[in-house]
Structure 1
């Protein structure tokens, strides 16, 4: 983390601007909302992993006292999805269910208990279909891993639009000449790896409230990371102009990627509100959150790598098989991501990447923290350790010798502007004594090393266009109060505090003077969402672009009144004074009023569009980023070789993040990521028994008492 002592706020530590409200229980989450005459919705879910819907009878449910409305998929038949190529979800299933937990009907009642009871009154007739419950099932008829389309009976096909059979997406890309690269290698390894699927499990369950106003407009309050894309989905499924729909992202109690899709329950409550003329709320149970899922893809990986004796990689070949679950979600992008970013850490001259994502009759996978990259990163890092052992090289030294240089282009056309992984590696190995302790540790003690890279925002939007990825509006009132309007959502990572700090720094004022208004499609400019570590970089740059013209106006007006050139003035601690410290400073409020008198109402807009980068091949839209961040970690582990029991005693972490905005928040993000990674590596998996998720009673994330 770089530091500049001249900053007033940037690089310092301060409490989150909404931290006290959260600590005192004053923050209003979606489930805390109560509107007059509000109804409560529940959804009936399929008990079968794969079945045709023969008949749904709502008669008895509608006769139950307290039930106001009920609906089926025929009332909301238009499909939707987050990606334009995978519009395969329905708010309520119309013709068939594709997983246990798929919703088939919904009711709205005067309270949750009545709504829950009414679900028992709904009669559904199913015709059971064959279930696909594993990658192997999804690849039936494939011969020896050749990329040949399987012949799958129609009854077992989950989606007719699949590339073939139950293969959702196939990718085959080669950059350079991998055969020549392997021939050039001194050492070649082939390995098979399997990475377990797992889920996000944020503290807050999904919840939404919808209202249909007298003016015909629909308002949705929802726990979402992507209000802009929810807005788009609602307009499509409800067949309404987007100007007649308002989406407000309520404070989000954790997301990690699990709230980046538009979801069925969000559409259902809107439709029920339109049917009843009353507000409708739905809060998913923890079991329903597991059905919603969008967690880490289970990935089976065959990896072949060639290396020279000095540790340089001559060729790399990945063949990945993803268990995508029942729906597309971000799956096409996830498939590409299991290969796209392998090349931005270490130079790889020859690279071949093949992948298949298969549909299975399980909860759909999606963009959990890292979105397709942790799985192949795990495989590559383990393989590098094995190469280091083969070559009798220190694992850290092997990596340090071969890092992507700054301002370089990877073999698959990704631009690496800066690479701080070398510094990260040196920091963690020096702090842990890695080189010495790795060879001198007693039996049962060991040190491991791992490296990673990740996006600082995706370079292209989901719906390709030339418009900004993030926008910010700022207005300043006559009392010196500054309101920042932006479409990004704070999901607990502290982005509201970051934006407040950036604007306070640019305008030279106190944090308490800044109010951040976020994620309201009626009030705030479009932001594409809180994912891919994009908010600080993209929304932050938009905030800078909006704040600087206002600063110039304030200094210009003050210069005119004070008879001092504007370039000799500055703003700090909410006072306008001379750079040389001479004279008596004036208050920010006075300067603002002078500026308003000169320029009129003080307001400004700013936006950010990332640079256009990447190749011209199909799939090149996945992977480009304005900047890549890097990290290194050393873990000290104690292991009993007889029992196989082990525990992680200590971690040393370093992240290449550039300029820290709020040091306290950075530390929280780094430590939180480490805990989630530890939990994923040591104990988490998404367990299914006969198609039903058993994770709620099986292995889940580490509790605080288990964290080292």
Structure 2
């Protein structure tokens, strides 16, 4: 990729600003923090998936030397949750536990050995209750309510929407296809476990008594700040939340967690710093990972492959608590329309409570499961109609700068180019022709499959709906030439801090090394809603541009006067500000700062970003799915299947991603390849397995993750069609590239051996059963059982006409 000469910094492959600190071990993570007189904490967790708590006796534990404090549910009686509509968790269980791992008590002690003994001494009297461990069980037993507050059985959320005339759409079809799919849940498995340190500083004569500082491995310090304030009944002005270096999150650190709240309260009660670091088993137990989802699709199609209608149902296994689940439910249906043009569309979604760890957002939040289902379904349609799968997809692509049937505004879209590139690089057409003469002397059969997808560049609405900015950035210039950027966004390894430094450097015409970054500190930095939904580059990036341009105007004002040059002719680049008509007339960046400070005083500017209001429809529920822009991806996977053993080898992935503009091509390529790696793991091996109510494999020894030796070759293709509203044209790259990988592998399996796997993970045993069944052996093929769909659907149907979109057609 060649560097765009229009920029001096943007488009260049700079290393991450924190790379040296990380590779040399200088970077401090939450568990590295150690304060004088620090105590250690741990949570006692339920061994039962569902039980009533009769009593909790902590007396013997309190008598143990070295135990300083113990909390139980009665000490923290306020409910909390990330969404205002799902405030259903207690920091410590009150009256009932709902999954193996639900926290019951919190202990602070002088050392970790004492903690172990103290937890053994706490006596909890449980009354065991029936546990519901699947979607079907939760639907079949409405009398066993996991939450008494649910209106109908164990249904956490049910939605029903119809856009356009569905009946007419199906009537216009030449063929109608139906399928069931299942996507298994899986865990984020970040390198760093969840950890936090809390410190309470007494303040004499303060009516509150002191201030709390909480360092936590979190993606959302702003929302942790809010929920800690609520549960501890402390003013937000007396709480400071800092996210130090975070060793990955992938969505798993987006919730406020009980360990953060308990550690904060233990610090307040003891007057001493308290640290709590979760074990790897606890990371699996507190989960918040990918929802298991069953999906049904019915699609009407013309003989030439044109889509006429789609009806999509999703059933989500939400686990024990709400988390982001309401949003996830909407996401499973709302975004089908931004990839392919659908003239009419009906979506019914339902999230159910079960007695498993609560599910939440994982990379590709709510879109990965339906993308698998839709892309495999469309592949079946293409083969049934005798149409090349590429041709069918290209015939139905959403057009750029348009509105979807459910009112979502689409800006730039280069999905057609993405498909063209992966077809070209993989030699798709030549491969399909050569398959006719495929060798039969070995047991290996090769195939290629394709899939496409889209993803958001940040949610159009905040979690708590308000009119305030979604992101804000402050920049300070000092008279020594230093530049400090303050932003509340958390860098969880994706490189967001580096991207912000590049954006500010480009605007001010300086090298990124001059910039000091202060991030993710609720006292020092302005509010940013968090590192989720691929929002940081687009939203914080735009906010940084606004702040940098305000400062640049002050610099240009004084330089223009001193040099006698009109401001519009001045250029900032290479640490200088100069006349573009006569580059010899110039002033150094340092001198410009000093002159500007003499004129204007302290040089500080702020910028903010709020998405446009006209990016969604005007019906209830339209707030989940809209985004200021969408990224697009296409993937071709090549696989080899051993027909005797069912062993699957993914040989290569070609992945093209419409990134808008690659602000740093090395970081973008790394994100695309990371998404491909994660998608590959979910496709062929990752799964959360439960037996008798317990997580069967809560360790990295047993939970299967792809290693570098497993991972296929990945060819990354960055498609640059700048988006007019993105920072320097940039769009997201962190989550979208994952989504087409899983269905591309599934479709390649069919292309190789002629059998379909409609569920994940696609393991050798399932593939071998499918092959044997196809060959006529008396085995049960792997099939997805249908869900007993409630009749009537337990919520009101919302009908909405596309021509009533807010703001009209774009």
Fold match (TM-score > 0.5): yes
Match of 2:704 in 1: 700
Q: Contact (CA 8 Å) 2:639, 2:650: kept in 1 or not?
A: yes
Question: Secondary structure in 2 aligned to 1:164?
Answer: coil
Q: Contact (CA 8 Å) 1:474, 1:603: kept in 2 or not?
A: yes
Q: 1:3: how far off?
A: 5.6
Distance in 2 (CA, whole Å) between partners of 1:13 and 1:3 is 9
Match of 2:387 in 1: 393
Question: Secondary structure in 2 aligned to 1:219?
Answer: strand
Match of 2:235 in 1: 241
Q: Which moved more, 1:609-618 or 1:260-269?
A: 609-618
Structure 2 residue 620 is matched with structure 1 residue 618: yes
Distance in 2 (CA, whole Å) between partners of 1:260 and 1:587 is 43
Q: Which moved more, 1:214-223 or 1:561-570?
A: 561-570
Q: 1:23: how far off?
A: 0.2
1:60-459 counterparts in 2 under 5 A?
60-140=60-140, 152-153=142-143, 156-215=144-203, 216-441=210-435, 442=438, 444-459=445-460
Distance in 2 (CA, whole Å) between partners of 1:2 and 1:251 is 32
Gapped runs of 5+ residues in structure 1?
142-151
Q: 1:26: how far off?
A: 0.4
Question: Secondary structure in 2 aligned to 1:696?
Answer: coil
Q: 1:466-517 CA deviation, whole Å, 9 max, x = no partner? A: 1100000000000111000000000000001000000000000111110110
Match of 2:529 in 1: 528
Q: 1:310: how far off?
A: 1.6
Distance in 2 (CA, whole Å) between partners of 1:39 and 1:595 is 49
TM-score, scaled to structure 1: 0.97
Q: Contact (CA 8 Å) 2:80, 2:227: kept in 1 or not?
A: yes
1:452-601 counterparts in 2 under 5 A?
452-583=453-584, 585-601=586-602
Distance in 2 (CA, whole Å) between partners of 1:568 and 1:462 is 43
Q: Contact (CA 8 Å) 1:71, 1:106: kept in 2 or not?
A: yes
Q: Contact (CA 8 Å) 1:3, 1:660: kept in 2 or not?
A: no
Distance in 2 (CA, whole Å) between partners of 1:696 and 1:362 is 13
Question: Secondary structure in 1 aligned to 2:361?
Answer: coil
Q: 1:582: how far off?
A: 3.7
Q: Contact (CA 8 Å) 1:257, 1:367: kept in 2 or not?
A: yes
Distance in 1 (CA, whole Å) between partners of 2:7 and 2:155 is 53
Q: 1:439: how far off?
A: 3.0
The number of residue pairs the alignment matches comes to 696
Distance in 1 (CA, whole Å) between partners of 2:582 and 2:565 is 13
Match of 1:638 in 2: 640
Q: 1:2: how far off?
A: 9.3
Q: Contact (CA 8 Å) 1:2, 1:660: kept in 2 or not?
A: no
Distance in 1 (CA, whole Å) between partners of 2:698 and 2:58 is 30
Q: Contact (CA 8 Å) 1:2, 1:658: kept in 2 or not?
A: no
Root-mean-square deviation (CA, aligned residues, Å) is 1.2
Distance in 1 (CA, whole Å) between partners of 2:412 and 2:269 is 54
Match of 1:662 in 2: 664
Question: Secondary structure in 2 aligned to 1:217?
Answer: strand
Q: 1:681-703 CA deviation, whole Å, 9 max, x = no partner? A: 01111101111112335442212
Question: Secondary structure in 1 aligned to 2:709?
Answer: helix
Match of 2:688 in 1: 686
Q: Contact (CA 8 Å) 2:563, 2:585: kept in 1 or not?
A: no
Select which of 649, 662, 669 maps to 1:647. Answer: 649
Q: 1:55: how far off?
A: 0.6
Distance in 1 (CA, whole Å) between partners of 2:272 and 2:311 is 57
Q: Contact (CA 8 Å) 1:467, 1:609: kept in 2 or not?
A: yes
Question: Secondary structure in 2 aligned to 1:459?
Answer: coil
Question: Secondary structure in 2 aligned to 1:536?
Answer: helix
